[in-house]
A = this chain, B = another copy of it.
Amino acid sequence: MTAVRAAVMVGPGKPIELREFPEPELEVGAALLRTLASEVCGTDVHLWHGRLPEVPFPIIPGHTNVGALEKLRGEILDLEGEPFREGDLVTFLDVHETCGRCWYCLVAKATTRCPHRKVYGITYSAREGLLGGWSENIYLKPGVKLLRLPAGLTAEAFIAGGCGLPTAVHALERAGLLPGDTVAVQGSGPVGLWATALAHRGGAAQVITLGAPEARLAVARRLGASATIDITGLGSAERVEAVRERTGGRGADVTIEATGAAEAVLEGLRMTRDAGRYVIVGQYTDGGAVSLNPHYDLNRKHIEVRAVWGIDFSHLYRAVQLLARWAPELPLAEILTRRYRLGEAEQALRDVEDLRVVKAVLEPNVR
């Protein structure tokens, strides 16, 4: 029996460990993926610092993954009813066990709020199996939703989109852009950058991206930002003013929050025009409270605030179709900044945390 190597996060603040696991036997309907690439993202840094509740350490991180099917047990069909075969290049939705039977799934149709959902690389313990992507193999449980990469879309290109792109797809879906809208994007991490690209290629006439450092803003401009605002050294009122002066003094039609900082919410409301839309997607962890004035910041503005939690399969699917179409024109190499081997996972975490890279990718099978 072969051993499978994985990078394991054993607990908050502890060193990442390389461990070996036995190769799992497959249940009917399960498959084994040979991991080609697994993203190291800001969520992993949050995990490492213990900022997410109820994480069942030790875990194998890695929630956005791409690989080749190595083994399958039983027939597994794709979206079109075609069976998957060994060797197929696929990704999969990290969210699993959405129940399909509870009030949120059936009545609200808000599946990203199903209380039963589990997430590969986040809410499964390493004791439960190879359920994260920082591993040579990933165990795809029966019912995990696989997606073929379209012809011409490479694993590298896919991982440059990573989890930021489908998240941004969900945000833009909620934003309801009209042709010619002006969009402000708060944040220049992966979600902010992809929101910038999607707004530009989604019919906006103007996209203003606020963030730092300058290297990321340069990527934002290449992805379609018509203006970028380096927030370094600017106060909140100055940032708001910087957007307003580019929008006739009114603010953006649509603002998309992708920062993770609680105070950004007040700032974002203020940089949005009256009767505009404010999409909140970056408050993924508890970043504390913010104080706002409901009269001035909400009611009198006649604004809509649309919060976005998680993604479902449609967002992953749409992200992949868009990447396949746009990849030749996108500066993907500037996004997917650096590749790491399994033993370098901790270095990757540090580089992400210190913003030394836009996006870090682990390649577990590269030695």
Contact = CB atoms under 8 A, between A and B. Distances in A.
Interface in A285-309: 285-296, 298-309
Given A108-B274, A173-B179, 7 more contacts: A79-B102, A104-B274, A108-B314, A283-B298, A290-B293, A301-B307, A305-B305
A296 B295 CA distance: 22
Interface in A61-109: 77, 79-81, 100-104, 106-109
Interface in A255-292: 262, 265, 273-276, 280-292
A222 interface: no
Contacts of A307: 298-304
A275 B202 contact: no
A305 B297 CA distance: 12
Contacts of A291: 289-291
A299 B262 CA distance: 11
Give the number of times this chain occurs in the complex, counting copies: 4
A246 to B, nearest CB: 12
Contacts of A314: 106-109
Contacts of A276: 108
Interface size range on A against B: 35 or more
A328 interface: no
B113 A302 contact: yes
A90 to B, nearest CB: 14
A205 to B, nearest CB: 4
Contacts of A173: 178-179
A177 B79 CA distance: 21
